[in-house]
Amino acid sequence: MIRLQKFLSESGVTSRRQGEKLIVSGKITVDGQVVRLLGTKVDPAKNQVAINGKLIRAKAKRFLALNKPPKILCTRHDTHKRPTVFDLLPHNFGHLFTVGRLDSDSEGLILLTNDGEFCQTVSHPRNGMPKTYHVTLAKRVDSGELERLKDGLNDDGDLLKAKHAKLLHANNTRSQVELVLKEGKNREIRRMFKVLGYRVLCLRRIAVGPVKLGELPIGKWRVLSQPEITSCLRLADK
């Protein structure tokens, strides 16, 4: 027996928190009866759970790492018919959702799952899951300005801050910097460097917590190992 909101999360239909809202609003039934009590427990093998009358069936949990190419969206559907990360997956993986996002111009590691609780735990800003990026800039970077990234920059009242920043290599026309962020605000890295007067040529995420992009080819995916999944949850809990 498991709590109803946990069953909803593990079935991949919603996060646990959103599941609680659906229960309280009377949109969930168990064996045909509306249930509003958050402490309700169900046996997935015996009870029939439905949302707005549609039966929910427990799905096997999936956890994937994908190397997102640039110009690919991290959304399920796009009104302009642009390609999305789901176009890179088998059709029967359509029930997955992304754990956080990368903007269209960025590339690199994106995680996908059908486990709502895992998604919520890893992606929620309060848990501070570190994410590592390699950023190529259009001119030589001043090392002193990397310190400003760690101190924090103000952009229209929003504090943008890197946990770590170091120069990987540079010449007179290019620089490559490694950044680690813990919050992941909208287009945060691009905004940081715009404040400093640098143009970003390439933005590539190479790690989410303990999960590394490694040698995964661009546009390809792999299944996360159990140690990677466990490490992500432990790191988020800290």
Catalytic residue set: 103
Return the H-helix or E-strand segment holding 112: strand 107-113
Q: Which residue has the tokens 């009866």?
A: 33
Answer yes or no: are the C-beta atoms of 50 and 29 closer than 8 Å: yes
- Indicate the angle between helix axes 226-237 and 116-123, nearest 10 degrees: 50
Cα angle for residues 103, 119, 153 (degrees, 5° grid) = 45
Answer yes or no: are the C-beta atoms of 185 and 179 closer than 8 Å: no
Cα separation, 236 vs 190, whole angstroms: 25
Cα separation, 117 vs 8, whole angstroms: 10
